[in-house]
Amino acid sequence: MNITRHPNNPIITAGSIRPTEPSLRVFGIFNPGVFNDRNKIGLIVRVAEAPVQPENNKPTTLILQNNKPTITTVENVTDVSDPRLIRTQTGTLLTSMSHFRLFWSTDGVTFSEPDEPIRLFGQGAYETYGIEDARITKIGSTWYMTYTAVSQAGVAVALMSTTDWATFIRHGLILPPHNKDCVLFPEKINGLYYCLHRPTGSDIGGNFIWMSTSPDLLFWGNHQCIAQTRPGLWDSERIGAAFEPVKTKDGWLLFYHGANENHQYSVGTILLDTNNPYNVLNRSKTPVMQPETDYEKEGFFGHVVFPTGMASLNNRHLMYYGSADSVICVAEIEL
Amino acid sequence: MNITRHPNNPIITAGSIRPTEPSLRVFGIFNPGVFNDRNKIGLIVRVAEAPVQPENNKPTTLILQNNKPTITTVENVTDVSDPRLIRTQTGTLLTSMSHFRLFWSTDGVTFSEPDEPIRLFGQGAYETYGIEDARITKIGSTWYMTYTAVSQAGVAVALMSTTDWATFIRHGLILPPHNKDCVLFPEKINGLYYCLHRPTGSDIGGNFIWMSTSPDLLFWGNHQCIAQTRPGLWDSERIGAAFEPVKTKDGWLLFYHGANENHQYSVGTILLDTNNPYNVLNRSKTPVMQPETDYEKEGFFGHVVFPTGMASLNNRHLMYYGSADSVICVAEIEL
């Protein structure tokens, strides 16, 4: 499989993003949801913001209060060794809060926000710590966006839909915690919707890819594990679906991310039966893409290529990926 | 609330249970599912078995192979400090495998297996480490049994049903891992089935009680967290539904277990709105039952009262609970 990184990479950097307001700073940009709309490509970029931290003060973070991101002082801190987390005596918070921003491009490389920016923030009890990592699938004439809803109650999978990228319907949580990396298949199979997701392991089990079906995208069942981590290989610690599976003549081609014990994230593929995707036909022994360039190896959380969407332009397939938790990149794929 | 322990407690002990075959020993008995069938009370008791361990040999455990419990030598062991777990370089196994045994009683206190024992073992890919902790609810003329399915793939919630306690239909996983303590409501509310469950916390979030709905008991959605742990109280670490909520004139009365940071398990109550159970009306500040007696304080895993079912006999409400992971007890409740 030929994967060619674009010479303009990274195409969006955290440094180019303005915070929502002056009291905040952009902590990182991450893993965009991707979609085609006629001749344009849209990205739903996850922007993580943190309060500008006054020196010598108690740590602060952002938490939604009455649906408004609010700078909040964190009490009883016990551990801040992971720059993403603040552990306290009563629970764990995030150092930053993420929201979504819509970017458009006509060439797949140069992206900008529309004149009237579309920005989506967390809402309600299950998104008080923000919303993360959109994955977008068009089914019929509607775009469905799965994403990670984060709150004191846990980390779960939520669903939003739109037909115009201006108004959005929020469908609530479709999978209970602790779960993320949910992608929908682009069509019904034998009368049911399909999704892939990544329940978080705990003692027994691990961070594996599961598949489920639904009659209506809201109620999900028939949960089965289709891929586990592989000790000794590049995907030994964590795996998760990258974006919607691509229908090919040989079956559904799924790109997935895999991390090893050194937290190096690479990309592999799994081939699923066209008519019964629970049936795994093949899985790549070696990664099809690994962190190679400086912008993939350095940064806040280095050695990461984390694809989260693909779109098409002039019959070329463009895969978008977050890298080092601080930039967004694009590569062309010959499938 | 008056809760009166029966003087014959414990009513079933691990020592009274014969292993499935001589090469095995009974490791513990646990947390029974409970149901009424005409004038009898049935218990589905979880029996955990482990291989009789030859001295100086590598640790062994039971794993389902071709649906048959098979003594398996465990390689590359890294940690056996928790007597329930064997940690290895490639994952965590259980020291024992659980299956279910049906016991009947006409007085609610003296239980025995039928002449032709009904024993249920794990089946298929998601129960290779066994099946645990049944909760039973009768809906219409069918008994539904939720239980914990344990395998290398994770710890998830499965569903079985029966109309005669002789033949069983296995419906597969109804909630993905890591989840347990699932109980069904005994009737539909506004056209939907309801359940409570306990996703396992991981970094963000905790071991809280969630509620979901379903059109058909197989596909579940509308996941909401109805109760969290309470720092500083008796239920500060983990909470989970005990058994099906009891319909009262004031609402659905839910018994739940709560553990504190010392792993002491006690029992509390939550009152849920009759027509919209997502609406929590009340929650007990103090436990309604705590470990008190010797048989609740000692044993393999002491300081535990863990109710998992209730049944009625001559207008008396009998609550069954596992204690110390080694005995089953009964107490009468005046609701």
ipTM here = 0.96
Q: Phi, psi at residue B295, to the nearest 5°?
A: -70, -10
DSSP code per residue over A307-332? EEEEEEETTEEEEEEEETTTEEEEEE
Candidates A234, A228, A281; CA nearest to A254 is: A281
Candidate from B91, B177, B220 with C-beta closest to A221: B220
* Residue B122 with chain A: CB contacts under 8 Å: none
Tell me if B222 and A129 make a contact (CB, 8 A cut-off).
Answer: no
Q: What is the rounded average pLDDT of the residues A93-116? A: 96
Tell me if B204 and A156 make a contact (CB, 8 A cut-off).
Answer: no
Measured CA angle at B147 (ends B141, B153), to 5 deg:
140
Candidate from B92, B176, B205 with C-beta closest to A203: B92
Residue A224: CB atoms within 10 Å: 17
Per-residue pLDDT of chain B (335 residues; tens, 9 = 90+): 899 999 999 999 999 999 999 999 999 999 999 999 999 999 999 999 999 977 667 888 999 999 899 999 998 899 988 888 999 988 899 999 999 999 999 999 999 999 999 999 999 999 999 999 999 999 999 999 999 999 999 999 999 999 999 999 999 999 999 999 999 999 999 999 999 999 998 889 999 999 999 999 999 999 999 999 999 999 999 999 999 999 999 999 999 999 999 999 999 999 999 999 999 999 999 999 999 998 888 766 679 999 999 999 999 999 999 998 789 999 999 98
- Residue in chain B closest to A209 (alpha carbons) equals B153
Kindly provide the b/e burial profile for residues B316-334, where b requires at least 16 CB atoms within 10 angstroms of the residue's own CB: eebbbbbbbbbbbbbbebe
When pLDDT is cut at 50, 70 and 90, the band that residue A59 belongs to is confident
Tell me if A150 and B224 make a contact (CB, 8 A cut-off).
Answer: no
Going by C-beta distance under 8 Å and a sequence separation of 6 or more, which residues neighbour residue A296? A302, A303, A304, A305, A323, A324, A329
Q: How far is residue A264's CA from residue A292's CA, in Å, rounded to a whole number?
A: 11
* Residue B225 with chain A: CB contacts under 8 Å: 125-126, 153-154
Tell me if B155 and A204 make a contact (CB, 8 A cut-off).
Answer: yes
Q: Which amino acid is at B162?
A: T
Tell me if B205 and A178 make a contact (CB, 8 A cut-off).
Answer: yes
Candidate from B125, B174, B201 with C-beta closest to A221: B174
When pLDDT is cut at 50, 70 and 90, the band that residue A14 belongs to is very high
Give pTM, 2 decimals. Answer: 0.96
The total number of residues shown for chain A amounts to 335
Q: How far is the alpha carbon of B262 from chain A, nearest alpha carbon, in Å? A: 15
* Residue A177 with chain B: CB contacts under 8 Å: 199, 201-202, 205, 210
- Residue in chain B closest to A93 (alpha carbons) equals B204
A25: its two tokens:
């700073």
Q: Is the per-residue pLDDT at A24 higher than 70?
A: yes
Candidate from B152, B176, B208 with C-beta closest to A212: B176
Candidates B212, B231, B230; CA nearest to B222 is: B212
Asked if residue B219 lies in contact with residue B212, where contact means CB atoms within 8 angstroms, the answer is no
User: Across all residues in chain A, what is the average pLDDT?
Assistant: 95
Tell me if A176 and B212 make a contact (CB, 8 A cut-off).
Answer: yes
Q: Tens digits of per-residue pLDDT, A190-200?
A: 999 999 999 99
Radius of gyration for the alpha carbons in chain A, expressed in angstroms and rounded: 19
Tell me if B219 and A223 make a contact (CB, 8 A cut-off).
Answer: no
Q: Which amino acid is at B23?
A: S
Give the H or E element holding residue B73.
strand B68-73
Size of interface A-B (CB pairs under 8 A): 155
Q: Is the per-residue pLDDT at A300 higher than 70?
A: no
Q: Which amino acid is at B203?
A: D
Tell me if A219 and B221 make a contact (CB, 8 A cut-off).
Answer: yes
Q: How far is the alpha carbon of B233 from chain A, nearest alpha carbon, in Å? A: 12
Q: How far is the alpha carbon of B217 from chain A, nearest alpha carbon, in Å? A: 9
Q: How far is the alpha carbon of B19 from chain A, nearest alpha carbon, in Å? A: 25
Q: Tens digits of per-residue pLDDT, A213-253?
A: 999 999 999 999 999 999 999 999 999 999 999 999 999 99
Q: Phi, psi at residue B157, to the nearest 5°?
A: -100, 125
Candidate from B153, B155, B179 with C-beta closest to A208: B153
Kindly provide the b/e burial profile for residues B210-244, where b requires at least 16 CB atoms within 10 angstroms of the residue's own CB: bbbbbbebbbbbbbbbbbbbbeeebbbbbbbbbbb
Candidate from A90, A151, A219 with C-beta closest to B219: A219
Tell me if A178 and B202 make a contact (CB, 8 A cut-off).
Answer: yes
Candidate from B94, B155, B208 with C-beta closest to A153: B208
A302: its two tokens:
């280095």
Q: How far is residue B234's CA from residue B262's CA, in Å, rounded to a whole number?
A: 10
Residue B178: asked if its preceding bond is cis (omega within 30°), the reply is: yes
pLDDT for the residue B53: 78
Q: How far is residue A203's CA from residue B83's CA, in Å, rounded to a whole number?
A: 14
Tell me if A219 and B214 make a contact (CB, 8 A cut-off).
Answer: yes
* Residue A125 with chain B: CB contacts under 8 Å: 224-225
Residue A38: CB atoms within 10 Å: 4
Residue A12: CB atoms within 10 Å: 25
Domains of chain A, earliest start first: 2-334 (2.115.10.20)
pLDDT for the residue B300: 64
Contacts 24+ apart (CB under 8 A), A20-28: A20/A49, A20/A69, A20/A99, A20/A119, A22/A52, A23/A51, A23/A52, A23/A71, A24/A49, A24/A50, A24/A51, A24/A52, A24/A62, A25/A49, A25/A50, A25/A51, A25/A52, A27/A95, A27/A96, A28/A96, A28/A300, A28/A301, A28/A325, A28/A326
Q: How far is the alpha carbon of A258 from chain B, nearest alpha carbon, in Å? A: 16
